[in-house]
Structure 1
Amino acid sequence: MVSRRGPSGGPDPVALIEIDLYGELMIAASSAAEERLSTDRIDEVLRVVRRQRAEPAEGPGGPEG
């Protein structure tokens, strides 16, 4: 069990999540056919969601600026 330092004691929820994600990466790496996991596969295992970049707002230097 991972404990937080300080007077409150108890498990550190962030550390527990990191340990879980590390375990998921280890499982994925051990079952992969290739020597290394691709960046896309790592993102998939870690459930990374990529956001679309918003178009720049019209402003100075824009078509009407």
Structure 2
Amino acid sequence: MTHVAPVGGTAVQDHVALAEIELCGELMIAASAAHGERLSLESIDEVLNVAHAPGPPATP
């Protein structure tokens, strides 16, 4: 006997988990497009749409 979730509003969605799955998929696509090369940290940040806040100025 196969159990199937009922149609309607009973399904629970974990929006954080869905977002993480989407990001993992984007990384897999980028990695496959790299043709065996490692993705740089900058490339990963670009795929994940990560913006780094500027840090404090370097002291000499």
Does TM, normalized by the shorter one, top 0.5? yes
- Compute the displacement of 1:35 (Å): 1.7
Equivalent position of 1:29 in the other structure: 31
Number of residue equivalences: 48
2:38 counterpart of 1:41: no
2:53 is paired with a residue whose SS is coil
Task: State the distance in 2 between where 1:22 and 1:52 align.
Answer: 26
AA aligned to 1:30 is S
Task: State the distance in 2 between where 1:29 and 1:36 align.
Answer: 7
TM-score, with normalisation over the residues of structure 1? 0.64
Runs of 4+ in 1 over 2 A off after TM superposition: none
TM-score, with normalisation over the residues of structure 2? 0.69
Structure number with bigger Rg: 1
Higher RCO (Cα < 8 Å, 6 or more apart): 2
- 5+ residue gaps, structure 1, are 1-7, 56-65
Percent identity between the two aligned chains: 54
Quote the RMSD (CA, aligned, Å): 2.0
